[in-house]
Amino acid sequence: MDFLQAVSLALIQGITEFLPISSSAHLILPTAVLGWPDQGLAFDTAVHFGSLLAVIWYFRLDISRLCAALSQSVTSGQHSKDSRFAINLIIASLPILPVGFLFRFDIEQHLRSVDVIIVTTIVFAILLLLADQLGRKRLTDTDINWKQALLIGLSQCLALVPGTSRSGITMTTALLAGFTREDASRISFLISIPAIAGASGLKLIDLASSAARVDWNFFLLGSAVAMISAYLCIKLFLDVIARIGFLPFVIYRIALGGLLLALFAI
């Protein structure tokens, strides 16, 4: 892997991790078009770690406030709106952790194909459009209850199937549950923290048990580029999503699915 490949892949990961457009669909394009070799487990770990740092830093004040509210509710026995929100975010975050751990190898072996990515990229784009058009868009993020949290958390498990998009499916479910675009996005970003942390942890374990050599220069470069691009992506997305809606992302996903179909259907 050279410098151009490292920067390009880190940018792709950082941007697509939090947009509802599927990072897995994008990461196969450089290989198909440019013939780049696989970036390796160490670099995958680096860019996921960078994305994790970005979302934690962006929501650092919210995380601090929610942790304080949760701690106070435990010691006092009295719940506030923030402590209930924190509990429901935890509920939403839980399902993907055991499911991802138990089925990650099966998914890698049986579902990580271009055909699956093409289908899921297009199908879940249509579902996102329907959710954006049919959702009531009345609820704010702190209105979430445990049933809605569990439903969003279960939907996040579908993101283990390549091409689905973790952000896309959780935003879709939150929109269908009646949340506004901004608050559906905030919920999606906040529950991504345990999911990305879990994925990064599993990759670190796999990396430690493998004989792969780690190029620390590329590791640090990938983490830094992914972190900066992911942070800017989150900020821009939350600033504009209420105005532009999800239609541009739907059109983009369908076009991407069509491009992949044209490239790999031969």
At 140-171, the pLDDT tens digits run 999 999 999 999 999 999 988 988 999 999 99
Bridge partners for 179 per DSSP: 139
Cα torsion 54, 57, 58, 59: sign: positive
Lowest-confidence region among 50-59, 114-123, 211-220: 211-220
Considering the entire predicted model, what is its pTM? 0.91
Tell me if 186 sits within 8 A of 167, measured CB to CB. no
Average pLDDT, the chain: 90
Q: Which residues of 219-229 are buried (b: 16+ CB within 10 A; e: fewer)?
A: bebbbbbbbbb
Residue 38 makes CB contacts below 8 A (sequence gap 6+) with 31
Q: pLDDT, tens digit, for every residue of 5-18?
A: 889 999 998 999 99
Tell me if 166 sits within 8 A of 58, measured CB to CB. no
135/139 Cα distance (integer angstroms): 10
Backbone angles phi, psi at 68, to 5 degrees: -65, -40
Alpha carbon separation from 103 to 24, 114, 188 (Å, rounded): 17, 19, 22
Lowest-confidence region among 67-71, 105-109, 141-145, 217-221: 105-109
The answer, yes or no, to whether residue 266 has pLDDT greater than 60, is no
Alpha carbon separation from 83 to 63, 66, 141 (Å, rounded): 11, 6, 13
